[in-house]
Amino acid sequence: MKKNLFYAYLAGFLDTDGSIYVRLKPNSSYKYDFQISPSIVFFQKNTAESYFKKIQKKLNYSKKRKICTKVVCNHLIEKGVLTP
């Protein structure tokens, strides 16, 4: 998939089935004693695991977690750089 098309698709996917979180974590080694931790979360069926690994790799994000209920999983992709 071409880069611009991928980002357009990702934006639409995020708009319908995702959220962006920015968390402040206490960390005294930073200037204001907090570290900013952005995350992107997508909500999908349990069967979508391999697709989210591809997104993680394409975005160059270092960490992916999956939190599941009986029907849906939260696919949390965090700590990377999103640059078109």
The number of folded domains in the chain is 2
pLDDT digits (tens, 9 = 90+) for 49-64: 777 778 777 877 666 6
Q: Do 61 and 77 share a domain, yes or no?
A: yes
Kindly provide the residue ranges of all beta strands, DSSP E only, lying in the chain, ordered along the sequence.
Answer: 18-26, 34-45, 63-68, 72-78
Q: Do 75 and 53 share a domain, yes or no?
A: yes
User: Which of 45, 41, 39, 35 is CA-nearest to residue 73?
Assistant: 45
Q: Do 69 and 55 share a domain, yes or no?
A: yes
Q: Do 39 and 2 share a domain, yes or no?
A: yes
For residue 66, the enclosing domain spans 46-83
pLDDT digits (tens, 9 = 90+) for 16-28: 888 888 888 888 8
Q: Do 51 and 66 share a domain, yes or no?
A: yes
| pTM of this structure | 0.60
Q: Do 53 and 35 share a domain, yes or no?
A: no
Q: Do 37 and 57 share a domain, yes or no?
A: no
